[in-house]
Amino acid sequence: MFVPVIEGEAFAHPVGKIVCVGRNYAEHAKELNNPVPSAPILFIKPADAAVALAPSFAIPADQGSVHHELEIAVLIGSRLRAADEHEVAAAIAGVGLGLDLTLRDVQARLKEKGHPWEVAKAFDGACPLTEFLRADKVADWQAIALQLTRNGDRQQQGNSGDMLFPVLPLIAHMSRIFTLNPGDVIMTGTPAGVGPLQSGDELSLQLTVTAGAQLSSHTRVE
C-alpha cells in the first residue's frame, strides 16, 4: 500500500488504481514508430505498481531493457464518474511526477503478438511517484514543464502544452470508462526521450507548474 504525500502531508487515501494514457505526445509516438492515435490509448497499473520514487527504487533484473517514461502524475481527490472538465478540475488533489516503467523488450514481444501490455507495464513497482504539489498551485494544466536528467545528462524534457489529449478533457474521458476514486492516480503520457535505466543510475526529476511552484526529486536506481 502506497500513501501519496502532498507537500509533506500524507494523503487521506492510499493509491488505488493508476490510469495511464499511451502516446499522448506526438514526438514520443514517433520515436517508437507508433502512429499518432486519434483517441486516447488507455491502460491501468494496479495499486501495487505505486512506490516512492525517492530516495531509490528498484527495477526488474533479467527481463531486458527497463525504460523510464517521465510523466505528469495527477492525484484524484474525490470520486469522478462521467464527469465534465469543471468537475474534474475541482476533484484533483495534487500534481506530481511519475515514471511509467516499461519492460521495452517484453512489450515489443507482446505487441508483436497482439497481446495485452500488463506484464510489461503493470508489475509491482512499475510506477515510482514523487511527492505531489497541491492542485490549487496549477493555473494552467497545459503549461506545465517536466524534465528528467540521468547521470547528469538531460534525457527527457517536455511541456503539457504539447499533449495530444489535454489533462482535464482526458480525465473526463477516462471517468466515462472507469470510475475514479480518491487516491487514484492519472499518468498523462510521456514526452520524447525515453530510454533504458541501469542499476546505479542517478536521476533528477523536475516539475515546473509556475515560477513559484516547482518540485524536484533526486533518486537512485537500485
Q: For binding to Zn ion (CB under 5 A), which residues are involved?
A: 69, 100, 190
Least separation in angstroms between CB 6 and Zn ion: 23
Nearer to Zn ion, 69 or 184 (CB): 69
Nearer to Zn ion, 21 or 180 (CB): 21
Nearer to Zn ion, 120 or 168 (CB): 120
Residue nearest to Zn ion (CB): 100
Distance CA 89, CA 107 (A): 33
Least separation in angstroms between CB 66 and Zn ion: 13
| Grid coordinates belonging to 101 | 516503467
Nearer to Zn ion, 166 or 213 (CB): 166
The single-letter code of the amino acid at 149 is: T
> How many C-beta neighbours within 10 Å does residue 145 have?
17
Nearer to Zn ion, 82 or 177 (CB): 177
Least separation in angstroms between CB 69 and Zn ion: 4
Least separation in angstroms between CB 158 and Zn ion: 12
Least separation in angstroms between CB 190 and Zn ion: 5
Nearer to Zn ion, 4 or 98 (CB): 98
Least separation in angstroms between CB 22 and Zn ion: 6
